Structure 1
Amino acid sequence: MQLNPWALTGIVLVALATYYLGYRSSRSATSTHDFLVARRTVRSRRNAAAISGEYLSAASFLGVAGIVLKEGADATWYPIGFTAGYLALMLFVAAPLRRSGAYTLPDFVEMRLGSLGLRRFATAFVVFIGILYMVPQLQGAGLTLASVLPVPAWVGAVVVTVLVGINVIAGGMRAITVVQAFQYWLKLFAISVPTFVLCMVFFSGGGPGGVRSLGSPAPPVFTQDTTVSVQTDVTVKVTTETYFYADGRIDGGPARGVARWSPLIPHTVEKGTTLKFAAGTPVPVISDAPATNDAWLHPASGKITDLLQTYSLIFALFLGTMGLPHVLVRFYTNPDGKAARRTTVHVLLLLGLFYLFPTMLGALSRMYVPQLLVTGNTDAAVLMLPSAMVPGVAGQILAAIVAAGAFAAFLSSSSGLLVSVAGVVSTDLLPGRVKDFRVGTAIVALCPLGLAFLLRTEDISLSIGLTFALAASTFSPLLLLGIWWRKLSWPGALAGMLVGGGLVLAALGVDIAAGYASFEAPWYTSQPGLISVPAAFLTTYVVSRLTRYGRPELVNDIMLRLHAPDPLGLMRDRAVARFGQAEDKARAGRGRHRK
């Protein structure tokens, strides 16, 4: 890998801007309210930009284009689902959640159902979901840095962890809000400008010749002589007899020289193998991806399992958003319920605008960087596409802009995840002081960093999809039924979380085992939402009907507090004796941090 000085400059500038904004904002962060909920004074426009900056993670910046390159029409459910989840959040959850006066999701659980045991159980799931979501952010950071600099992948993960940890320890939610709002606009610039330039190159007939149109039913072809280095064991398929040069091990045996693949059977390529293809050769693709452009442009393959998997993904994405702790915690920073709902409307607009661009880049990648289909490393498409379409310094500058935006994505998402999980750890497992928040941040930051080294690097969007399924199967039933159904009991909520979360974790275990043992797992192990989400809702409802003793005595007062209009003044902070009143802290900083 050759050093790209432009990319290095862009990444360094993003890191410096992130550190500066975090440091400047942290100077006024002095109280627990600053670190947990930014004094509850963040107005809707800034909070919407901060939520969007936090939400547009590695799965959005790199993974959406990568999964579109690989899967085609079926992959468009990812950007649709990522955005549409906020519609359900706006309609059913945002305003009541803010009116609860809670500081964290487990705090809301105890407020609604009055069970300290359920709160502790919810704490465990919040920590697990946060860490599981943060691992692909660090893996994506490693991929980005290794794609533009001659460094190993672990360097990017360490850099992101250190930089994010410093900002969160210094200023908590107050510092991170400003950083994330800035990083949304930076990411929008970094994805939109290269997209516009590359589309102009495409429509003007520029770029390398020999590109096969996406409208052609045949598979994509290599536009020039191409060398592919396989970094992990893969299984590929071809549509015609394919001749190439191989150096390594293919189909279970050594290979050195000219080789031939038949379309009748799949073929294996072992780690460390080098493949060389001549210009015009049809591109082999990994075995679970559509091989031809015709199949790529049409959804599914007609199998019932493909349809079920699509609906399972929809369940996970639409309902998983409202169960993500790092998303929900941002609504506690709004002044009132009305501002929380307005924030969600703005988020829908900001996300809808952003997701146009990675989808377009994914389509262009199938024509100009099809070699990624051989290795399955399609998440690198956004990073490699500019240099492939625009040779020379101009392509390097576009690649540098994209790399800087991708690095900002890892920083903003990791910041939100770290601050939300650290807040839960400091208030539920530690005394809850500012010092405890900082200690919790340091502890939490080390866990996903260690897992990023241990776990295999999977397709980023698919791993995030499984995290959404876990959130949809645990906290989504609790929130929807807790906010809108007064007969919910804490045994019912606990049973629903156990069943829904247990099914997702079991599916995750089988899926990981299948990867190591090389056997084909059922479709629902990669997308379990269609089974786990209804099972969680049904279990919660049935058990709640059977356990009336688990309902709080003042449930009518609680429901009134959640749904009463803001001007009635029923909204109150929880744990005032422990943390004080947010409004008291806000007077000292009135006029700041409010737009």
Structure 2
Amino acid sequence: MSLTAIVSLVAIVLVAVVSAVIGSIGHRTRLTSDFLVASRSVGSRMNASAISGEYLSAASFLGIAGLILIQGVDALWYAVGYTAGYLALLLFVAAPLRRSGAYTVPDFADARLASPALRRVCAAVVILICWLYLLPQLQGAGLTLAIVTGLPDWIGSGAAGLIVVLTVALGGMRSVTFVQAFQYWFKLTVLAVPVIIGLAVWMGDTHTFARSEPPEFREPTTVSVETPAVLQVRLSADVVARGTVDGQPVDGPLRWVAGSTHAVDSGTELDFAAGEPVPVTSGAPTDDESWLRPFSGSEPHQVLATYSLLLATFLGTMGLPHVLGRFYTNSDGRAARRSAVIVLAMLGGFYILVTLLGVLSRVYTPQLLVSGRSDAAVLLLPTAILGDGLLGALVGGLVAAGAWAAFLSTASGLLVSLASVVSTDVLPKRGRMAGRFPTATVLAGIPPTVVALIPTGLNFAEAVALVFAVAASTFCPLLVLGIWWRGLTDVGAIVGVLVGGVVSAGAVAVYLTGVRAATLGPGGASVDVLLYRPAIVSVPLAFLVMVVVSRLTRARRPADAGQVLLRLHAPERLGLMRDRLEDSA
């Protein structure tokens, strides 16, 4: 095992141990409010740090830098959408949701519309969203361990799942709050270090992006293609291939001419000499100059895909159960708003660092444009810049530990939301929460951990964007209309949530099966985009269905709708806010 691998493994173990020690602060939890909302006693700054630590997941720490490496400025929309989502949450949801006194999204639905059926539907959607979101976090832990140590991916995924389950089961939300706050500042630090070093090295480099040429391999490089890929060749390149290229087995030198494309199967190894131009995956910008221009790739309907992505990320934030769960921990609505404002600044600083890492990766780890493992850019960048010596190993280990902090913090928040719903809406309400919550945590954490052991091949940022589409199509309409429109009914809410969820999740499921509408003729390419980016259809449809069905069932409008809305919007000094659940056990 190399020096870098040893240092990285030690750093990962240390961050896991430190997180567990900090989480032990919450072991004294006994009350329901301790487990679910940390007794609603978390200050605005602490909560903002915890929210940021929880929100900045595998998609943010690894995925966005990898997408910037491939797509250039077009990938910045991910960071914009993820950050701007808190602006929408601040304006429409944060304070009223806290004033509702709810503990979970199903609890809010029950408080607003008093419908057991709606509560069950919301509980099912929470479980779906959290499981889908947990999957890339645990697989990101496996990828990180595999990249830095060479161990199989499943070991890291399984270990991360076990650590998260134990942390959450022992302390609930109170324990997780301290862990996530620590992990945000740790992640920010470990990203700042390679950015500062990388920029200092780059300033003495001659590389510029103001050229119509692809990146170049800076040294002789062997690329192992992890997933089947179609590569575009901007300039002619000589390559030695071992595997399957263009459907034919090869074991020797090839000449790829300018403007050609080549299908490369997984498991193929490609050897490039120093100075050779780097091929890129099909649809990505082929040269540095176009990499800096918006919509310069060859993928069809890029504007439609971008608008749909922005809608999903902008509105999906307010539908994510683990994000909403953190605002329940504030003392009141004003504190919830303050937390949201601070989070906007924290996320902005973090994404600036991630963007710079993506830019540096284009220069120092161009082989990832070929291999299909763009998520590894942040992990490989330190040794690519500093070499395999002690300094490169130390910085690489620090980054690997930061990546694990990202996975653990987000996974912990997701599992708290899952366990909260399972303990209050799935398990029988017998005995104390101190007994039910650990059981709910184990039951909720096992399925995604098992599934995470199976590789999926999705980019982390892409995978999370799909979850945002489901959240934006289900809970976003429910919360916005439930908070701001007294005409919402339980039937309208149920039908709207189901329609939005089925359309968004169903479209993505069809796309992932490999079915492509483009093969059916003209107009098929736009259908493919909507299958992959369904929010631009599913979100307005969910709102429309919820409104129309509510008007058709206006007789079911709750008699106390006006009183509930008054409590949601009235200033705290009027004393109308109250918690729904008071529990001493």
TM interval, shorter chain, is over 0.9
1:107 aligns with 2:104: no
Q: Select the residue among 523, 529, 533 that pairs with 1:523.
A: 529
State whether residues 489 and 554 of structure 2, in contact with CA within 8 Å, keep that contact through their aligned partners in structure 1: yes
For 1:484 and 1:91, the matched residues in 2 are separated by 12
Tell me by how many angstroms 1:35 deviates: 0.7
1:410 maps to 407
Instruction: Please identify, of 380-389 and 454-463, the stretch whose mean Cα deviation from structure 2 is larger.
Output: 454-463
Alpha-carbon deviation of 1:159? 1.2
Could you tell me which of 563, 567, 571 is aligned with 2:569?
563
1:301-450 alignment runs, 5 A limit:
301=296, 305-391=301-387, 392-432=389-429, 433-450=433-450
Displacement of 1:375 in angstroms is 1.7
- State the alpha-carbon separation in 1 of the partners of residues 247 and 291 from structure 2: 29
CA contact (8 A) 2:139 2:455 kept: no
| Other-structure match for 1:217 | 212
Q: Which amino acid aligns with 2:414?
A: L
Alpha-carbon separation, structure 1, partners of 2:253 and 2:306: 40
Which residue pairs with 1:55 in the alignment? 55
Q: Do 1:418 and 1:441's aligned partners in 2 also have CA atoms closer than 8 Å? A: yes
Q: 1:264 to 1:203 in 2, by over 3 A?
A: closer
2:216 touches 2:278 (CA, 8 Å); kept in 1? yes
Say which is worse superposed, 305-314 or 504-513, in terms of deviation.
504-513
Measure the CA separation in 2 of the matches of 1:102 and 1:293: 50
Post-superposition Cα deviations, 1:75-102, rounded to whole Å, max 9, x if no partner, equal 0011111111001111110010011011
Provide closer, same or farther for how the CA distance between residues 155 and 225 of structure 1 changes in structure 2, counting only shifts above 3 A: same
Shift of 1:265: 4.4
- Alignment check: 8 A CA contact 2:307 2:536 kept: yes
Q: What residue is the counterpart of 1:117 in the other structure? A: 117
- 2:238–2:253 Cα contact (<8 Å) kept: yes
Residue 11 of structure 1 aligns to which amino acid in structure 2? I
**Using the alignment, how far apart are the partners of 1:378 and 1:452 within structure 2?**
19
2:100–2:108 Cα contact (<8 Å) kept: yes
Q: Displacement of 1:157 after TM fit?
A: 0.7
Which residue in 2 is equivalent to 1:545? 551
Q: For the residues of structure 2 that align with 1:263 and 1:505, how far apart are their CA atoms?
A: 40
SS of the aligned residue for 2:238 comes to: strand
1:367 CA drift (Å): 1.1
Unaligned runs of 5+ in 1: 206-210, 586-595
State the shift of 1:459 in Å.
0.6
Alignment of 1:165-314 (within 5 A): 165-205=165-205, 212-301=207-296, 305-314=301-310
Contact 2:517–2:528 (CA<8 Å) still a contact in 1? no
Shift of 1:434: 2.3
- Kindly indicate whether the alpha-carbon contact (under 8 Å) linking 1:212 and 1:220 is maintained by their aligned counterparts in 2: no
2:26 aligned partner: 26
Which residue pairs with 2:522 in the alignment? Answer: none
> 1:432-479 deviations in whole A, cap 9, x for unaligned?
522221111101111111221235121110110010011000000110
Partner SS state of residue 251, structure 2: strand
**1:160 corresponds to:** 160
1:247–1:515 Cα change, 3 Å? farther
Instruction: Tell me if structure 1 keeps the 8 A contact 2:225–2:372.
Output: no
Q: Which runs of 5+ in 2 are unaligned?
A: 520-524
Asked if the contact 2:516/2:528 (under 8 Å) is kept, the reply is no
CA distance in 2 between counterparts of 1:530 and 1:2 reads: 48
Q: What amino acid maps onto 2:6 in structure 1? A: P
Q: Measure how far apart 1:304 and its partner are.
A: 7.2
Could you tell me how far apart the structure 2 residues matched to 1:204 and 1:282 are? 22
Whole-angstrom CA distance in 2 between matches of 1:170 and 1:457:
33
Change (3 A) 1:394 1:220: same
SS in 2 for 1:522: helix
Deviation at 1:273, TM superposition (A): 1.1
Taking structure 1 as the reference length, the TM-score comes to 0.93
**265-274 vs 36-45, which moves further:** 265-274
Q: State, as a whole percentage, how many aligned pairs show the same letter.
A: 51
User: 1:568, CA displacement in angstroms?
Assistant: 1.1
How far, CA to CA, are the matches of 2:515 and 2:158 in structure 1? 26
Query: How far apart in 2 are the matches of 1:376 and 1:295?
Result: 20
Kindly provide the CA deviation profile for residues 199-230 of structure 1, in whole angstroms up to 9, marking residues without a partner as x: 1111133xxxxx74211111111111110011
Q: Please, which of 532, 537, 544 is the counterpart of residue 538 of structure 2?
A: 532
TM-score (norm 2): 0.95
548-557 or 115-124, which deviates more: 548-557
Equivalent position amino acid for 2:269 in 1: T
Per-residue CA deviation, residues 370-427 of structure 1 (Å, 9 max, x unaligned), is 1000022111000111111112221221111111110100000000000111100100
Cα distance in structure 2, aligned partners of 1:535 and 1:323: 16
- On the 8 A contact 1:213/1:367 being kept in 2, the answer is no
Q: Distance in 2 between matches of 1:570 and 1:92?
A: 19
Instruction: Give the whole-Å Cα distance in 1 for the aligned partners of 2:515 and 2:196.
Output: 38
SS in 1 for 2:304: helix
**Residue 288 of structure 1: CA displacement?**
2.6
Q: 1:140-193: per-residue Cα shift (whole Å, max 9, x none)?
A: 111111111121011111111111111111110010001001111100111112
Q: Which amino acid aligns with 1:568?
A: L
Cα distance in structure 2, aligned partners of 1:550 and 1:277: 68
- 2:518/2:528 contact within 8 Å kept: no
* 1:518 Cα deviation from its structure 2 partner: 12
Partner of 2:9: 8
Change (3 A) 1:304 1:87: same
Aligned to 1:589: none
Deviation by residue 1:299-330 (Cα, 9 ceiling, x = unmatched): 11498711111100110011000000000011
Asked whether the 8 Å contact 2:70–2:284 carries over to 1, the reply is yes
The question of 1:486 aligning with 2:486 is answered yes
CA distance in 1: counterparts of 2:31 and 2:255, whole angstroms: 67
Aligned partners of 2:304, 2:461: CA distance in 1, in Å? 18
Q: Distance in 2 between matches of 1:265 and 1:514?
A: 24
RMSD: 1.8
Larger mean Cα displacement after TM superposition, 382-391 or 542-551: 542-551
Query: What does the per-residue CA deviation read over 1:322-370, in whole Å, with 9 as the maximum and x for residues that have no partner?
Result: 0000000111111111111111111111111111101001011111111
The total of aligned residue pairs comes to 573
Distance 2:242 2:120 in 1: 54
Contact 1:2–1:150 under 8 Å retained in 2? no
The Cα of 1:264 is off from its aligned counterpart by: 4.7
Instruction: Name the CA shift for 1:492/1:504 in 2 (closer, same or farther; >3 Å).
Output: same
Contact 2:158 2:453 in 1 (8 A): no
Q: In the aligned structure 1, how far is the partner of 2:515 from the partner of 2:409? A: 30
Give the AA of the match of 1:480.
V
Q: Distance in 1 between matches of 2:177 and 2:46?
A: 8
Runs of 4+ in 1 over 4 A off after TM superposition: 515-521
Matched residue type, 2:570 = A
- Per-residue Cα deviation, 1:516-566 (whole angstroms, up to 9, x for no partner): 999787111221111111111111111111110231110111011101110
SS of corresponding position for 2:302: helix
State the 1:7 CA deviation. 1.2
